[in-house]
Amino acid sequence: MDWQKCSGIPRSYLEAMTITGRKVSAEMIAQLQTFFDEDTLIELTALIAFQNLSAKFNTALDVPAQGLCRLPLSSSAAPQTAADALNSDSADEANRPK
């Protein structure tokens, strides 16, 4: 698969499925079908839908983050370089629950 050619298409699909007011177009599906077979497209759609469901469920019930995917709390806390990100991940290892 040529990931350079298809790189933005799955993200556009994800955004169309996720962002209120956007729709998945027939053209978008046709573009996806040039890179993914039917089973893969169904799996991709199911994974995006599941993540949307999980996010809405957790938000509605105020379920706190479990620390599985740590993200910076603010842009000032974001690593400046990839090396900074790797170093902060290593430092976080010692603080993670076992």
Number of domains in the chain: 1
pTM, entire model: 0.61
27-71 residue pLDDT tens: 999 999 998 999 999 999 999 999 999 999 999 999 998 888 777
Domain that holds residue 43: 3-60
33 found inside a domain: yes
Write the CB contacts of 5 (distance below 8 Å, at least 6 apart in sequence): 35
Is residue 89 included in any domain, yes or no? no
User: Helical H runs in the chain?
Assistant: 3-6, 8-18, 26-33, 38-60, 82-93
Split at pLDDT 50, 70, 90, the class of 96 is very low
Cα separation, 38 vs 59, whole angstroms: 32
